[in-house]
Amino acid sequence: MDKILVHGGRKLRGSIRVSGSKNSALPILAAALLTRDTCVIRGVPDLSDIHYMLTILSHLGCEVERASGVVSIRADKIRTEASYDLVRKMRASVCVLGPLLGREREACVALPGGCVIGDRPIDLHLLGFEALGAAVRVTGGNVKVFATRLRGGSVNMCGTHGTTVLGTDNVMMAAVLAEGVTEIHGAAEEPEVVDLANFLKAMGARIHGAGTSHLMIEGVKELHGADYTVIPDRIEAGTMLVAGAIAGEKLTVRRLRPDHLESVITPLRTAGFQIETETDAVTISPGEKSSPLHLETTPYPGFPTDMQAQMCALLVRTPGESVITDHVFPQRFMHVAELSRMGAQIRLEAPTAFITGNGRLSGAPVMASDLRASAALLLAGLAAEGVTEINRVYHIDRGYERIDEKFNFLGAHIERVKA
């Protein structure tokens, strides 16, 4: 098992390109199950989560080829069962349920695993399937869905902590081959949902309202193959911008969508950093003075929960009293204890972290608990005095493509060693 050693104190400068979106690529890869034709998906990042998804698709009978960020999938004859051994490492594996149900009218998938960041039930996914006329059974740790016919229906995908992205994806993928019209109210508005909808439309689906809270899907009899490029990863882009804020002199992040990052760019500007935007790039530079922030995570277009941990790492170095409240995943603060080991002053009253910025961090051995927490620890290590040793870095490899190499290219000193 690898660990990462971050030698703090190096300034970051230059420019870096963002990889394709993990959270777009995973459901788009699953959507290839909806047709017997070949689908070619470009810009797929080289991540462990992507590897897991391709392994699941191969088990389900797909012919999969992968080279240099391009994945070719042909799902001519497929199976409809995925065991726990296959799906236990990644929650997004649940998104094969929708396309299997849509195409084969049945699916049996083990309840998935993934990061431990609080309760993330799939009740709304199942509610959506039932609205399409499917029967649902949860037994022995497996989810079974089946239907003689799938018919358009109406469902609300908004739960206790807001809407569900994967739930919206799953129901949308099942509905594209259902009879009649399906309406999804309270749909997730994230760019990754829009990306999936655009891929499905490239396959021949009829989807209206992507990017709004009201989706309307007109079912079609069949879909065909498509050649499609996924959008840039807005969370990787946001993480790089925060790195520029923490340890940068002047850092340009390229191959991104600035309109997808307004909820990150705005608070960075408020905190005093200089931001310049171009069509597909954002440059961040230090300002004259840094200011504390009060942030609340909400579904898109609000401040993303996937950037909460990284912003914590920034604010522990920002003089003054900052506050971050996570309304989406109230228990997602496992990084707080590890940042405290490095000298951070954070008082946690979930779902809120009260941060007293003191400008100083010291390298220490820390443990990554989930994907975004591991990114926060790496960012903190960039600015800390001494060496930060990050264990369980398999978490960061789930969602950041060669992040250590990218930071080293910008001037950091990061080593990956065997634990």
Per-10-residue mean pLDDT of the chain, 419 residues long, equals: 93 98 97 98 96 94 96 97 78 89 95 51 90 93 93 91 89 98 97 98 98 98 98 98 96 98 98 98 95 96 97 96 94 94 95 93 95 96 97 92 97 93
Please tell me the total count of domains within the chain: 2
Nearest to 254 by CA among 268, 240, 269, 265: 240
Bridge partners for 5 per DSSP: 389, 415
Q: Counting Cβ atoms within 10 Å, is residue 56 exposed (0-12), middle (13-18) or buried (19+)?
A: buried
Bridge partners for 9 per DSSP: none
Does 132 lie in the same domain as 184? yes
Q: Could you confirm whether 39 is annotated as catalytic?
A: no
Separation CA 293–CA 322 (nearest Å): 5
Does 93 lie in the same domain as 75? yes
The residue from 197, 229, 261 where one domain ends is 229
Does 81 lie in the same domain as 33? yes
Separation CA 317–CA 358 (nearest Å): 6
Q: What is the pLDDT of residue 116?
A: 42
The CATH number of the domain holding residue 353 is: 3.65.10.10
Nearest to 78 by CA among 96, 53, 51, 93: 96
- Is 196:228 a contact under the CB 8 Å cutoff? no
Does 328 lie in the same domain as 409? yes
Does 183 lie in the same domain as 241? no
Please write the tens of the pLDDT for every residue from 47-100.
999 999 999 999 999 999 999 999 999 999 999 998 877 777 676 788 999 999
Does 339 lie in the same domain as 383? yes
Range list of H helices, 118-208: 123-131, 165-175, 191-202
The residue from 211, 229, 247 where one domain ends is 229
Does 32 lie in the same domain as 12? no
Out of 95, 115, 158, 312, pick the active-site residue: 115
- Is 309:332 a contact under the CB 8 Å cutoff? yes
Q: What is the pLDDT of residue 161?
A: 65
Does 225 lie in the same domain as 78? yes
Does 341 lie in the same domain as 215? no
Q: What is the pLDDT of residue 419?
A: 74
Range of the domain at 268: 2-18+232-418
Q: What is the pLDDT of residue 115?
A: 43
Bridge partners for 179 per DSSP: 151
Residue 140 is given by DSSP the state: T
Separation CA 157–CA 78 (nearest Å): 29
For the whole model, what pTM was predicted? 0.95
Does 225 lie in the same domain as 237? no
Please write the tens of the pLDDT for every residue from 357-378.
987 899 999 999 999 999 999 9
Q: What is the pLDDT of residue 224?
A: 98
The residue from 198, 229, 260 where one domain ends is 229
Does 77 lie in the same domain as 14? no
Single-letter amino acid code for the residue at 241: L
Q: Is 381 helix (H, G, I), strand (E, B) or coil?
A: helix
Q: Is 131 helix (H, G, I), strand (E, B) or coil?
A: helix
β-pairing verdict for 142-146 and 274-277 = unpaired
Does 106 lie in the same domain as 123? yes
